[in-house]
Amino acid sequence: MVSMPVARPIQALAAPLMLTYAPLALAAALLHRPGWAVAGLAALLTGIACAMQGRAGRRGWGLWLLLTALATLAVAYGKQTWLLDAVPVAFNAALAWLFGHTLRAGREPLVARIIASMEGEARLALPGVHRYARQVTVFWAVLLGLQTLLLAAYWLGTGPMQLTPPPAMVWYAHLGGYLVPVLAMLGEYSVRRLRLRHIHHPGPAEFARNLAACWPSLVRGMWA
């Protein structure tokens, strides 16, 4: 009873802290400010710790300890910027796997799970909805997989190969890689309204509220 009021405000800080790392990483790369890269790493790891408060088991805290140890070593050896560049690679790879592994035989596609959680099984049973959900899951797995390969090439090029990337690639690695999924989401929403125009669709604001409400249960199910 005592811990609940404390855990909720701490968890609410997770998203702002993790989102802080992207602009700091971009500024560190463009302006050659390694101290800002350290601040980005600190914000990212603190945000992860806040998100896991009261939720993560041994695996979650083990992963956080590993990341913290790697960040500490990177700062000690002056490699914090290179480690920070690995975050978009890991982020896209994790999401690509998250979408892709639900396409295996006997599994429910991730987008279908989201629809069922947000709008119920009856919505998923409407004509064409389940098929479209599988197609969108494939789309996200491919898009995020391609981004992973592109960002990994940038990461290896600026690290072991010590190449100097063009400024446009730096912007893409730290900012564009996050804007592409946002634009893809908006594009998919337009395609969905066209492909499934025989059914009612919630507006963007209602969709965002529903997704925010059901996301914690989805995450818990996928973590289990």
Pick the last residue of a domain from 78, 93, 118: 78
Report residue 148's pLDDT band, with 50, 70 and 90 as the boundaries: very high
Residue 10 has pLDDT above 80, yes or no: no
Do 123 and 161 lie in a common domain?
A: yes
Do 128 and 214 lie in one domain? The reply is yes
215 and 109 assigned to the same domain? yes
- Alpha helices, DSSP H, located in the chain: 3-12, 14-31, 34-51, 58-76, 80-100, 110-119, 121-124, 129-158, 167-171, 177-195, 204-223
- CB within 8 A of 217, min separation 6: which ones? 117
Residue 4: per-residue pLDDT: 38
pLDDT in tens, 153-195: 988 887 666 777 787 787 888 778 888 988 998 899 889 989 8
How many separate domains does the chain show? Answer: 2
Stretch 17-30: mean pLDDT:
76
**Confidence class for position 52, pLDDT limits 50, 70, 90:** low
Residue range(s) defining the domain that contains residue 15:
1-78
What does pTM read for this prediction?
0.73
Is 80 exceeded by the pLDDT of residue 7?
no
| Confidence category of residue 149, pLDDT binned at 50, 70, 90 | very high
Q: In the predicted model, is pLDDT for residue 218 greater than 70? A: no
Residue 3 has pLDDT above 50, yes or no: no
Q: Which of 78, 112, 135 is the last residue of a domain?
A: 78
Cα-trace Rg, the chain: 19
